[in-house]
Structure 1
């Protein structure tokens, strides 16, 4: 939703506010909701443009998969519509919008656990917004992170304490260096044992080559975290293993019994 604000004598300037999209797929009544997944799309490092419809559409298949798998537990999913597609330096716009979305989910559904599931820049926003009290877990798919030698300060990890966190990164990601997510996961693991990371060998930033396996892994982690379902053995092993083993866990072809395409 957009509104207009006065800017001196220059007239009207269009400003944007974040919002939640309609529930993804079939959704339970508000009173039957047991957990919420907030889907955070990819974005751009610097941009004044509005949110990207393409990026929003890209996270919908994962949302549908999660809702189908979590129907018995009352899982609901929403795509977060940012004010704009840019992170924009210290403004960290998408992280602020993710925090707003958590508060909005609590307003709508009450005291239910929330999982932040982001891709690319959205994964960075998910990791940053994990400090919100309602956040139970974070799914960070191919997180975009700044190069450490040019970043003003290291990416924070303190907000991840007490949350279950899964990183998933393709080894051939040409947009953001997979080693950066490894180093962040390694720092987070020092103060939070419930951190793991899977590597998708030969896959790129969009994680298309092994899409079915990535979605199956995501569903296993999200439902295990939000509803205390038993994790699949590879996820349980990755969470229990010390670095580097639990942070360089290979995602096996056929994970979850999903058919290859």
Structure 2
């Protein structure tokens, strides 16, 4: 007797953090999008989702007075998988789910690596107002592969941060995307984390402070700290090659 294939498990949201976990009113949600692989149909490993939990905790601590909730998005598959763009589709599903759970609240998509690309690609969802892409994976365009689109970023607040020593995802490709995005949306900024690699571990506290400041200013209109405001206002190339200096976190909201 032939065996029947088991139905594929769908994407899901991780446990609620922040205001949702404490049953307070939720006024905004950040969805954390982990990294992954270019190709792969198996379920992601638990370590993938766990890698973004420290950032999620930092963000909900910073946004507790504003009513911020956070969820990690658990993908259906671990790969991007070409034109299927599976993580981006899962991010759009998650934004829909936010509306079902919390109503009409603004959403920030925050992703690392492949999750950064998913955040940028899914930004056109009507609930999304803010995008943070950390060391985003963006493949090199060629004769058969067009550059990633940027039209979906119009009307969104967009932050990209990339380590200059990243050997897994090319920082020059995120600069090129930011340059194209800036032409259709002035609210795009990009920070270069000098000497840091793909994981952005060397300047972790500065990157988390930057992300927190940008998220709060974008989701809740609390205003940006000076370095973020300067980066948004500066024209290319300065506004897209803004250095993230050591000690940067001390100048931002904690």
Q: TM-score range by the shorter chain?
A: over 0.9
User: What's 1:217 paired with?
Assistant: 210
**What TM-score, normalized by structure 1, do the two folds share?**
0.93
> What whole-Å deviation, never above 9, does each CA across 1:133-152 have from its counterpart, x for those lacking one?
01010000000001122652
5+ residue gaps, structure 1: 1-8
Distance in 2 of aligned mates of 1:150 and 1:202? 32
Deviating more after overlay: 25-34 vs 205-214: 25-34
Please tell me whether the aligned partners of residues 33 and 91 of structure 2 are also in contact (alpha carbons under 8 angstroms): yes
User: What's 1:96 paired with?
Assistant: 89
Please tell me whether the aligned partners of residues 31 and 109 of structure 1 are also in contact (alpha carbons under 8 angstroms): no
User: What's 1:206 paired with?
Assistant: 199
Distance in 2 of aligned mates of 1:113 and 1:184? 24
Distance in 1 of aligned mates of 2:246 and 2:22? 36
Structure 1 residues 21 and 28 mapped into 2: Cα distance closer, same or farther (>3 Å)? closer
Asked if 1:152 corresponds to 2:148, the answer is no
Asked if 1:167 corresponds to 2:165, the answer is no
- Residue among 112, 119, 133 paired with 2:112: 119
Deviating more after overlay: 117-126 vs 144-153: 144-153
- Residue among 61, 69, 78 paired with 1:68: 61
Pairwise CA distance, 1:98: 0.3
Runs of 4+ off more than 4 Å: 28-31
SS at match of 2:121: helix
User: What's 1:87 paired with?
Assistant: 80
Distance in 2 of aligned mates of 1:247 and 1:202? 17
Distance in 1 of aligned mates of 2:181 and 2:74? 28
Distance in 2 of aligned mates of 1:167 and 1:30? 32
**What TM-score, normalized by structure 2, do the two folds share?**
0.95
Please tell me whether the aligned partners of residues 140 and 168 of structure 1 are also in contact (alpha carbons under 8 angstroms): yes
Please tell me whether the aligned partners of residues 157 and 188 of structure 1 are also in contact (alpha carbons under 8 angstroms): yes
CA RMSD of aligned residues (A): 1.6
Distance in 2 of aligned mates of 1:173 and 1:203? 7
Asked if 1:139 corresponds to 2:139, the answer is no
5+ residue gaps, structure 2: none
Distance in 1 of aligned mates of 2:188 and 2:18? 29
